[in-house]
Structure 1
Amino acid sequence: MDQTLSKLQPIALSLLRVITGLMLFQYGVAKLLKFPPDSPFAKVELMSLYGAAGSIELIIGGLLILGLFTRPVAFILSGEMAFAYFIGHFPKNFYPVINGGTAAILLCFTCLYLVTSGGGPISLDALLRKRG
C-alpha cells in the first residue's frame, strides 16, 4: 500500500499547488473584481492594504495555479499569509479558532511547503525544465 500511494505523491503535490493557488486566487478575485458581490471583501478599496493583498493574491496566486516560478511565488505568498495573520487576525484574539485566522495559517504553511518541494510534475516549471 505504501509503495502504491508513494507513486502518487508527485501528482498529489501538483494538485496541492493548484488548489492552494485557487484558494488564494479567489481572495484576489473577491477583493479586486468584487466577485461574488455578497463577499465580505466586496467593499475593499484598491489603494488599501487589502487592495495590495488582493493584487498579490490575484496575480501571484494565478502563477501558483499554473506552476510558474513556483518556489519564489510560494515564498511571497507564504509571507503574505503570515503578514495577513499577524496584522488582521492575531490582534483580535490569540486563538485562531476565535480570530478567524485558521485559513491564513494553513495557506502560509502550505506555501512554505511548496517553497521547499516545488510545483510538481504537472506545472509550467516542469515543462520549461524539460525543454531547457
Structure 2
Amino acid sequence: MSQLTTTARSTADAARPHLIALYRVVVGLLFTCHGAASLFGVLGGAHGGGTVPAGSWPGWYAAVIQLVCGGLVLLGVGTRTAALLASGSMAYAYFTVHQENALFPLQNGGEASVLFCWAFLLIAILGPGSFALGQALRRS
C-alpha cells in the first residue's frame, strides 16, 4: 500500500465515529420533526397542517414513536434500542400503509418510510458514534 493510501485510510478511520454521530443527529432530528408535526401541528403539521387525533391507530402511536425515538437517537441516549424500534415502526408503516397501494416506493409514496427504516437499522448496528449523551452519562 502506498503512503497516501495508508494516510487516507487512517484519516477515514479517525473520522468514522464523528461521521456516524453526525449521521445519527441528522436522522434523529428529521424523525423527531415528523413526530412533532403530527402530534403538535408544528412545521406544517400532519398531512396538510393538522394533527393526528390522540390515541388513533396507528397514526398517533407512530407519531409518539417518531418523537420519542427520534429524540433519543438525536441525543444518543439508548441509541441502539430506540433506533431498532424506529426502524421496525417504519417497516410496519411501509408494509401496512404503502405496500398495498403499489409494489415500489416511488409508486406508493413510501420512500420516507423505506429510507428511515434502513437509516435507523444502520444506526442500530453501528451505534451512536461520538458525542452521544448516553456515553457521557455512563462515564459520570
1:105 maps to 2:114: yes
| Aligned equivalents of 1:21, 1:96: Cα separation in 2 | 22
TM-score with structure 2 setting the length:
0.86
| Aligned equivalents of 2:51, 2:67: Cα separation in 1 | 16
> Residue 21 of structure 1 aligns to which amino acid in structure 2?
G
**Residue from 79, 101, 107 that aligns with 1:92:** 101
Would the aligned equivalents of 2:80 and 2:123 in 1 still touch at CA under 8 Å? yes
TM-score with structure 1 setting the length:
0.90
Residue 125 of structure 1 deviates from its aligned partner by 2.1
| Aligned equivalents of 1:68, 1:20: Cα separation in 2 | 14
**Residue from 65, 81, 91 that aligns with 2:90:** 81
1:20 maps to 2:27: yes
Aligned residues: 131
Identical residues among aligned pairs (%)? 34
CA deviations on 1:25-57 (whole Å, 9 max, x unpaired) are 111011100113465162421221111111111
> Residue 90 of structure 1 aligns to which amino acid in structure 2?
Q
> Where in structure 2 are there 5+ consecutive unaligned residues?
1-7
Q: CA RMSD in A?
A: 1.5
Q: Which 10-residue stretch deviates more, 31-40 or 52-61? A: 31-40
| Aligned equivalents of 1:129, 1:114: Cα separation in 2 | 19
Would the aligned equivalents of 2:77 and 2:133 in 1 still touch at CA under 8 Å? yes
| Aligned equivalents of 2:28, 2:44: Cα separation in 1 | 21
| Aligned equivalents of 1:126, 1:91: Cα separation in 2 | 41
**Residue from 63, 69, 92 that aligns with 1:54:** 63
Q: Which residue of 1 aligns with 2:135?
A: 126
CA deviations on 1:9-39 (whole Å, 9 max, x unpaired) are 1001001111111111111011100113465
> Residue 100 of structure 1 aligns to which amino acid in structure 2?
G
**Which is greater in Rg?**
2
CA deviations on 1:94-126 (whole Å, 9 max, x unpaired) are 011111111111111111111111111110122
